[in-house]
Amino acid sequence: MTASEVASLLSLKSICVPAPEREVLGGYTGDLLSWVMGRAKPDDAWITIMSNQNIAAVAMLTDVSMVILAENVAPDAGVAELCEAKSINLFSSELPAYELCVKLEKLI
């Protein structure tokens, strides 16, 4: 399933979607960035409440296919532009991370 399909089925709000056709094969949730770096797999959807600029670098380096900001967290200033430049799909949702994980699990 592609990132844009996941976004549509989970009713995510698009912040920037430079690579809508990226395949989503799994999911990971976490806010400690080193933990994410050590555990997230390529092509995961990464669900987090961390909103600073470092999420763009972590998303790019781990090769996740999309980042979902849970609980209506808004990205810090400049993060959307950074994600766009690094070809990172960035979305937000009003749902908590747990509920997003449960819903994602049913999709993929």
Partner 1 sequence: MDPLKIHFEVDGEDFSSAGEASVEMKKKLRQLGIPADVIRRCSIAMYEGEINMVIHAHGGTADVEVYPDRIVIILEDHGPGIPDIDLAMQEGYSTANDRIHNMGFGAGMGLPNMKRYTEDMTVESTVGVGTKVTMTVKL
Number of Cβ within 10 Å of residue 105's Cβ equals 10
CA atoms of 97 and 71, how far apart (whole Å) = 7
Closest CA to 89 of 76, 80, 97, 101: 80
- Pick one of 19, 53, 84, 99: the residue that binds partner 1 (CB under 8 A): 53
Site track for partner 1 across 64-103, x = CB under 8 A: --------------x-------x-----------------
Could you give the C-alpha distances from 53 to 9, 29, 33, in angstroms and in order? 27, 17, 12
Q: Per rule CB under 8 A, is residue 32 in the interface with partner 1?
A: yes
Query: Applying CB under 8 A, which of residues 25, 37, 102, 107 lies at the interface with partner 1?
Result: 37
Q: Which of 50, 67, 70, 104 binds partner 1 (CB under 8 A)?
A: 50
**Among 62, 65, 92, 93, contact with partner 1 (rule: CB under 8 A):** 62
Give Cβ neighbours of residue 35 (< 8 Å, ≥ 6 apart).
Answer: none
Q: In the complex, which residues of this chain contact partner 1 (CB under 8 A)? A: 31-35, 37-38, 42, 50, 52-55, 57-58, 60-63, 78, 86
